Copies of this chain bind each other. A is one copy, B any other.
Amino acid sequence: MATLTQVEATNVTAPTQFIATGAERYAYRRIGRGSALPLLCLQHFTGTLDFWDPAVVDPLAQTRELILFENAGVGRSSGAVPDTMAGMAAHVLAFADALGLTQVDVLGFSLGGVLAQVIALERPSLVRKMLLVGTAPEGGEDIMHLEKPELKRILDDLQVQGLQRLVKLFFTPSEASQAAGRAYAQRLAARRQDREPVSGPKVAAAQLAAFRAWERGDGGERFGKLHRITQPCLVVNGVLDQMISVKNSYTLSEHLPNAMLITYPDAGHGSLFQYHESFVQQASLFLGETTR
């Protein structure tokens, strides 16, 4: 196992590290290095550190440090999973403070993309640029309705478990997308040691409650807060995403003042994993630009 002074270049072997605040002990990983700002990576619904695809994070780590964060109550992070987005975002900020991070770029995928928005509003100085992938604005629509027939069918199938289930959920039924999904699952399985415990129903229930409140909105002007997020954003979505509809990415790119949108064809929630080469290229271009 690597010591903390070695630079790990891949999420297949990067050790899980821990940092304690007064309140919690957070699990995280650091991979890569470079002169660019660190990229703080915020994970999807029920996902642990083990669900960051090496095909996405490893190439990005060639030119920058990536910090993969495990929120409270997930994996080996202590504490209870908050049932609000604000609660989860507070843990991200506590973690960033504990690490002494003053400015980062953020890659927020799905649930992580929601937290990225909350953080950009709560502490704008922390965030330089944001990659918002497969995510939704507050007051959005068709967000994580696991009771939808398209999703329920997969979740009720007892023959489909673990990573196989994720392949069905994150990729489209097309042969090309399913093949990309199987390759993704193989990449995730390549990490053999020092794995995080898989999330159970309590994690899912709390995070889903947070999603429901996020979809309902705060009662204020719909999408009104987005205009205050002035950071350059790259919004990315699969055009056939069943978990968080692409409509939410349209809304984000229409209301965020400085957001470029990319959608991928024949792709679902896991578009960044399916099109990992293009995504890495686009993310590198976006993060590397000195001006917009």
- Give chain A's interface residues, CB within 8 Å of chain B: 239, 246, 250, 253-254, 256-266, 278, 281, 285
Q: Which of B253, B259, B264 meets A260, CB within 8 Å?
A: B264
Do B281 and A254 have beta carbons less than 8 Å apart?
no
Query: Closest 3 interchain pairs by CB?
Result: A261-B263, A258-B265, A259-B265
Distance (whole angstroms) from the CB of A250 to the closest CB of chain B: 6
Please give, as numbers and ranges, the residues of chain B lying within 8 Å of A250 by CB-CB distance.
Answer: 246, 250
Q: A250-B250, A281-B285, A285-B281 are in contact. Are A260 and B257 (CB under 8 A)?
A: no
Chain B residues near A239 (CB-CB < 8 A): 253-254, 261
Q: In the assembled complex, which residues on chain B have CB atoms less than 8 Å from the CB atom of A264? A: 260
- Rounded to whole angstroms, the CA-CA distance of A239 and B260 in the bound complex is 9
Given known contacts A239-B253, A250-B250, A281-B285, A261 and B261 CB-to-CB distance under 8 angstroms: yes
Task: Report Cα–Cα, A246/B246, bound state, in Å.
Answer: 14
- Please tell me if the beta carbons of B265 and A262 are within 8 angstroms of each other in the complex: no
Which B residues are CB-close (under 8 A) to A263? 253, 260-261
> CA–CA, A183 to B14, complex, Å?
49
Q: Which residues of B contact A258 (CB under 8 A)?
A: 265-266
CB of A265 to closest CB in B, whole Å: 5
Give CA–CA (A285, B253) in the complex, Å: 22
A-B contact pairs, 10 of them (CB 8 A): A239-B253, A239-B261, A246-B250, A253-B265, A257-B265, A257-B266, A259-B265, A260-B265, A261-B261, A281-B285
CB distance from A175 to the nearest CB of B (A): 13
CB proximity of A177 to chain B, nearest CB, Å:
12
User: Assuming A246-B254, A258-B265, what are 4 further A-B pairs, CB within 8 angstroms?
Assistant: A250-B250, A257-B265, A261-B262, A261-B263
Residue of B with least CB distance to A232: B265
| Distance to closest chain B CB from A131 (angstroms) | 15
Cβ–Cβ < 8 Å partners of A266 in chain B? 257-258
CA distance A238 to B264 in the complex (A): 17
Question: What are the residues of chain B within 8 A of A246 when measuring CB–CB?
Answer: 250, 254
In the assembled complex, how far is the CB of residue A127 from the closest CB belonging to chain B, in whole angstroms? 17
Chain B contacts of A278 at CB under 8 A?
A: 260
A285 surroundings in chain B (CB, below 8 A): 281
Once bound together, how far apart are the Cα atoms of A291 and B261, in whole Å?
A: 22
Q: Which residue of chain B lies nearest to A256 when distances are taken between CB atoms in the complex?
A: B265
Cα of A265 to Cα of B257 in the assembled complex, Å: 7
